[in-house]
Structure 1
Amino acid sequence: MPLALLRRPDPDHLDIVHEGTTFRIAVRRRPSARRLTLRVSATSGEVVITLPARSTIATAQRFAASHGGWIAARLARVPERVPFEAGSLLPLRGVPHRIVHRGARSGVTRTGSDGPEPVISVSCGEAHVDRRVRAFLEQEVRRDLLGAVDHYAVRLGQRPTRITVRDTRSRWGSCTAGGALNFSWRLILAPPLVLDYLVAHEMAHLREMNHSARFWALLGGLCPEVDAAEAWLKRNGTALHRYG
């Protein structure tokens, strides 16, 4: 009888204790894996252990427990989450704005100032602040993306077939073989040069669906801020996932 039929179903998580702190670890089994591995997401703080086909849960538990110090150190590097609620500070186009709840009536979200401090002013029921701020940010990023796409479409003589905004984790933007562009809404949190660069990058893929020398030459001719934007993303990109 195959081993998989004899084994009990895997739990969805393991708990280990390190120096008085309990860590919850998601369990994933991957038949193609050759060894046990641990991963801590730099954006969400999720801890995942991946098991090969023949590893037992008891072995995984011991392995995770023996790496308690490593898990603790990695989790300490994960930026603290910033919820979309009254009083939170978040960047809008790279400029810190304070979320201010103005009341429950109008349902309008807008930017403004509260003395010297830029604010995102939200008028809605308190329970809906998170949703309203997220919708506002998506609206703003769509406006900026469409403006940048229009600019580069004139220069390239090509337009995408579709533009989609998502909350992607592994990519800030992408271009499909069919010419559809996808972007992370979190680009609205970065300085404008970053969004502009990402749009230029993906628009260049409409002509060069690769990262060849010809692609980089085309991109360099479209966007003079390639190096600055890449450097900003390398330093600060991960931190954008802490918001919301």
Structure 2
Amino acid sequence: MSKLLESFQCDLNGEKIDIPIYHSPSPQRKKMCLSYHPNQLKAFVKTPQRISKKTMVEFLQKHLLWLKDQVFKFGVQCKPQKFEDGTYFLFKGNTIKLEHHESFKKKIFFTCENICKIECPKDLVDRYMRKWMVEQTRIFATERSVLYAEKIQKKISAIRIKDVKTRWGSCSTLGNLNYNWRLIMVPEAVFDYVCAHEVSHLMHMNHSKEFWDQVKKFVTKETITYSKNWLEIHKKQIYQWG
């Protein structure tokens, strides 16, 4: 069984990405090796069965440059992901590990900063986690959208959370705001920008100078730039959650 050894933070196009590094021991293995799995956004230190953590860390330190090169070379190659025991996912920009405990009751909670536990039947983990993530998106989107709408004295007809892979949000001529359920995975500042962006469309149904001037009244120019870059860099990683 692979266990988390440590996390490696790498700069990819100016953005920091956390790469969890796992220890994978094997009684058949004679030497240590390091591998990177871009489709899982994970790295593995494969070692003989008995080896000290100090030795592993020293080996890892010597090969961090190689790992960094692999991240730059292959980036993040995504495949469809689902929530299950041991899954790593993003929540408000942070890398979270999901731990499942078999139970007939449904309960989702954080035990510490980067561990989320779900208690439910095993075959319902993915369904319950997605439903919970959608609700967390709804809560944040509603709070921020209402706040911004009140500032410009505009009424929101409805806020809907949708499963789309073409846009992060949208605003209809009827005043309906639509948000991608995966937005709860992005940093709060980025989610906040998306809300500011869509609410600004209540005044300007275009991307004119007037529209962007309105967005800048809600969030700073630096936040806009940071958010656009973050979404562009991480969109493949986010959209792997089909």
Give the shorter-chain TM-score range: 0.5 to 0.7
User: What residue is the counterpart of 1:110 in the other structure?
Assistant: 109
Amino acid at match of 1:128: L
Task: Please list every run of 5 or more consecutive structure 1 residues that lacks an aligned counterpart in the other structure.
Answer: 1-75
Report the equivalent of 1:119.
115
Taking the aligned partners of 2:216 and 2:235, their CA distance within structure 1 comes to 21
Question: Aligned residue for 2:62?
Answer: none
In the alignment, what sits opposite 1:65?
none
Which entry has the higher C-alpha Rg, 1 or 2?
1
Query: C-alpha displacement at 1:78, in angstroms?
Result: 3.9
Separation (CA, whole Å) in 1 of partners of 2:88 and 2:103: 21
Identity of aligned residues (%): 28
1:139 is matched with which residue? 135
Q: Does the Cα contact within 8 Å between 2:76 and 2:237 map onto a contact in 1?
A: no
Native 8 Å contact 1:109 1:121 kept in 2: yes
Asked whether the 8 Å contact 1:90–1:243 carries over to 2, the reply is no
Is the 2:148–2:218 contact (alpha carbons within 8 Å) kept by the matching residues of 1? yes
CA distance in 1, matches of 2:81, 2:239: 9
> Could you say which residue in structure 1 is the equivalent of 2:144?
148
TM-score if structure 2 supplies the norm length? 0.65
Structure 1: 4+ residue segments shifted above 6 A: none
Listed as ranges, the matches of 1:182-197 within 5 Å are 182-197=178-193
Question: Cα distance, 1:141 vs. partner?
Answer: 0.8
For residue 99 of structure 2, what is the aligned residue in structure 1? 100
Say whether the 8 Å CA contact 1:205–1:215 is kept in structure 2.
Answer: yes
5 Å-filtered alignment, 1:196-215, equals 196-215=192-211
SS at match of 1:163: strand
1:137-179 Cα shifts (integer Å, max 9, x gaps): 0111111111101220221111210000011111100000111
Q: 1:232 aligns with which of 225, 230, 233?
A: 230
Q: Quick one: which amino acid aligns to residue 200 of structure 1?
A: A
Quote the offset at 1:77 in angstroms. Answer: 6.9
**TM-score, normalised with respect to structure 1:** 0.65
Is there any run of 5+ residues in structure 2 with no aligned partner, and where?
A: 1-74
For residues 76 and 233 of structure 2, the distance between their equivalents in structure 1, rounded to whole angstroms, comes to: 14
